[in-house]
Amino acid sequence: MVNAKGPIGVFDSGYGGLTILRQIRRLMPQYDYLYLGDNARAPYGTRSFDIVYEFTRQAVRHLFDQGCHLVILACNTASAKALRTIQQKDLPQLDPQRRVLGVIRPTVEVVGDISKSRHVGIMATPGTIRSRTYELEIAKLSPDIQVTGEACPMWVPLVENEEYDSPGADYFVRQRIESLLRRDPLIDSVILGCTHYPLLLGKIRQYMPQGVHIIEQGSYVAQSLQNYLLRHPEMAERITAGGTARFQTTEQAEAFQAKAAVFMGAQLEAQRVQL
Ligand code: DGL
């Protein structure tokens, strides 16, 4: 494992984490970033706990080998199913000086200030919903909030297959929003608990009733990372600051480049890697 300074590693099962990387780079353009998408094995959202943990551990290990001292799991499914075990079991063995952070905690930290009715909805992959991580984390910070989780198994495939503007997307977005609000009509805030979902934001806004606050996590994750680096200057010092972003994928580089450009809003070059 390289001990010299390195980029911030950003990991997702596929393209979704690019919505997080985009916000992080907007806030902290000075750093170098290395994005890894495990596109060959995405989606993670319907996979078992053990498999998501194993894949995520391989990804973290790879990013550490590439010189990253700090890795962001820009994937709710990986944050829900693998983060804690990686932090507690793997990091002490791999390198206790390195850090792995997730996207759920920074999102949960803002919800107490946003919801007035104290009824909050979570829209996420079946894996994230089944893990109940959002419920548990919200209960720690805002125990008076009632949380209702809605699994949206079709939303990631719609995004991965570039169907986010199609009539099919209207059907599935509307179906899940109506189901969530039927289960708890008092919900006034909905967390988009999957990093793919910002691509469906147009349709989500269209079907979400006026007055329901849609919580997108990218900017909160970026803000929380900036605060973390201010509180941990020893980590900030270990990050190279050349202002670059590199992209790696476990799938074909050409396919990744074309789709990732939509998420990032800019052309990019990717390299295929094996985990
Ligand atoms: N983008 C990931 C998340 O935030 C999930 C995508 C997947 O199912 O692989 O949960």
In a domain, 1, yes or no: no
Claim to verify: residue 80 and residue 162 sit in the same structural domain? no
Does residue 250 form part of some domain?
A: yes
In the predicted structure, residue 2 carries a pLDDT above the cut 90: no
Q: What is the pLDDT of residue 251?
A: 94
Together in a domain, 134 and 72: no
Q: Please, which residues bridge with residue 272 across strands?
A: 249
Report whether pLDDT(142) > 90: yes
Return d(Cα 162, Cα 260) in angstroms, integer: 11
Give 132's DSSP letter. T
Write down the catalytic residue from 10, 21, 75, 239. 75
pLDDT at 208 over 80: yes
Distance from Cα 108 to the centre of ligand 1, integer Å: 17
75 is catalytic: yes
Do 94 and 227 belong to one domain?
A: yes
Same-domain pairing of 84 and 98: yes
Last residue of a domain, which of 216, 237, 258?
A: 216
Hey, whose CA ends up nearest to atom 8 of ligand 1? Answer: 45
Per-residue pLDDT tens over the stretch 219-240 = 999 999 999 999 999 999 999 9
Please determine, for residue 113, whether its predicted confidence score (pLDDT) is greater than 70: yes
Quote the tokens at residue 235: 């980590």
Residue in 194, 199, 200, 263 to alter for ligand 1 test, most ligand atoms within 8 A of Cβ:
194
Domain housing 74: 8-102+219-272
Question: Of 221, 132, 120, nearest to 180 (Cα)?
Answer: 120
Q: Give percent of the chain above pLDDT 90.
A: 92
Give the closest residue to 104 by CA, choosing from 125, 68, 78, 130.
Answer: 78
Taking 80 as the threshold, does the pLDDT of residue 3 lie above it? no
Same domain, 109 and 212: yes
Q: What is the pLDDT of residues 47-100, one digit of tens each?
A: 999 999 999 999 999 999 999 999 999 999 999 999 999 999 999 999 999 999
3: in domain: no
Query: What is the per-residue pLDDT for 262?
Result: 84
Please say which residue of 183, 198, 216 terminates a domain: 216
Please indicate, yes or no, whether residues 112 and 88 belong to a single structural domain of this protein.
Answer: no
Work out the mean pLDDT of the chain and round it to a whole number: 95
DSSP state of 4: S
Choose one of 216, 244, 261: the last residue of a domain: 216
Ligand 1 centroid – CA 185 distance (Å): 26
226 and 141 assigned to the same domain: no
- Note the pLDDT of residue 162: 85
- pLDDT value at 211 more than 80: yes
- Whether residue 77 is contained in a domain is answered as yes
Does 83 share its domain with 126? no
**Inside any domain, residue 227:** yes
Domains identified in the chain, total number: 2
Kindly state whether residue 111 falls inside one of the protein's structural domains.
yes
Say what the pLDDT of residue 241 is.
97
Catalytic residue among 70, 194, 204, 270: 194
Do 79 and 108 share a domain, yes or no?
no
Mean pLDDT, to the nearest integer, of 5-30?
A: 96
Is 68 labeled as catalytic in the residue annotation?
A: no
For 235-250, what is each residue's pLDDT tens digit? 999 999 999 999 999 9
Residues with Cβ within 8 Å of 274's Cβ and at least 6 positions away in sequence, in order, are 250
pLDDT at res. 264? 86
Q: In whole angstroms, what is the distance from residue 55 CA to residue 91 CA?
A: 15
CATH code, domain carrying 74: 3.40.50.1860
Residue 124: pLDDT over 80? yes
